Structure 1
């Protein structure tokens, strides 16, 4: 099920979006937060709790120009893969809105003044995103490694391996995003539903990465695809043709 989060300071717009999206997007859970000048950490905690596939931000909220863009930038620092869009009634008034939205990584900006058209476009955008997700293969072959996501099994050189749930989540996330660097915080946040505690998540991830590497070495002492990126985190980097 896809989860969509709406962050908006006008309950009327929240109700409109809830009604339209619930009718047009099947198998979805639409959540909303009425913006009342809560601090950034409040919204960050909500994103962590709900793990939305898409966030819809209003641009100007609580009488603060571009509060939604600033909030999106803050959340994006902690969730770099977050997919989000903006809603605004100022699209044709403020020419910088599109540039500002692009700078923080928004997929697009929708116009409240052309709601009937843009809500249909938004619906299609979400459906297309769903279709992309549904086409993701269940088995990834990255020789000599094979991951079966349905069976939650991993083979190295066609030898079955045993991993804990968290080790599986960490390894599969790295291999699905080959050569992309993830911080310890990001890996911990992705692989567990637990609250991230300072001074705890780093040791936890280091321990799990070591366990994964040790299990690889028992089968192939030269197979070390998880690389440490100094002062940043880890990435999956292995080329079987080398």
Structure 2
């Protein structure tokens, strides 16, 4: 189990009842919570003193969750889980396209939310090698960078470079790309990539992977307009092209 010691969670929602109940549930699991009822106050606090993860409601007055995420992403790759309206596929797709790590539809199970939070934090801690999880140890120092043509990934430091230029990925994006780059030319199905990105026994729609792949491609094309290393095999899955 992931240790929640010292993990700080920012909760942003204009519904005070949700803030109170989720905050109490997280604190009972050992998390530190900071609660905000609007995006503007949350933005300043998050940028001034970044938490380990944010849970943002999408539909809020003044500054909604989408705008809050966009502004946060200008300076931080902090993991973010979106709370969306039930069956609102547009919200989910837009949120993932903008760089959210996950989404949960309201009404939601607090147990499910805690499981998703733990899964993301575990991946983040393992990638950063910061020692907050029980499974992180000296072995992380022995993790070798992955070099695939112009791509260099350093899992121990959560660093990605393409043609010598830095590419900033969220934890989930990093895990998906790492799975593809580990075996160039080998096709990974959406379900296989879901198993990599969402290791807990929770349901996530496979379109989530499509949204993450689009986001990864967009980020790489920001440093190389002709980036095409991630190939789509329609009806099968994705692969990292062999060079």
User: Taking structure 1 as the reference length, what is the TM-score of the superposition?
Assistant: 0.50
Q: Which has the higher relative contact order, 1 or 2, with Cα contacts under 8 A spaced 6 or more apart?
A: 2
Which secondary structure state, in structure 2, belongs to the residue aligned with residue 32 of structure 1? strand
Say which one has the larger Rg: 1
Distance change in 2, residues 1:109/1:129 (3 Å): closer
How far off its partner does 1:130 sit? Answer: 4.1
In structure 2, distance between residues paired with 1:130 and 1:67? 24
Q: What is the number of residues matched between the two proteins?
A: 141
Which secondary structure state, in structure 1, belongs to the residue aligned with residue 74 of structure 2? helix
Hey, what does 1:109 align to over in structure 2?
Answer: 103
Hey, what does 1:6 align to over in structure 2?
Answer: 11
Distance change in 2, residues 1:75/1:86 (3 Å): same
Contact 2:83–2:106, Cα closer than 8 Å, also in 1: yes
How far off its partner does 1:136 sit? Answer: 3.5
- Structure 1 residues 62-120: Cα deviation after superposition (integer angstroms, max 9, x where no partner): 2x5x81112111111211x21001113x231x33111111111112221222x2x3x21
Distance change in 2, residues 1:176/1:95 (3 Å): closer
In structure 2, distance between residues paired with 1:58 and 1:87? 5
For the aligned residue pairs, the C-alpha RMSD in angstroms reads 2.9
Where structure 1 has 5 or more consecutive residues not aligned to the other structure, the ranges are 144-172, 184-231, 233-242
In structure 1, distance between residues paired with 2:13 and 2:35? 8
Where structure 2 has 5 or more consecutive residues not aligned to the other structure, the ranges are 1-5, 126-132, 145-153, 168-222, 224-243
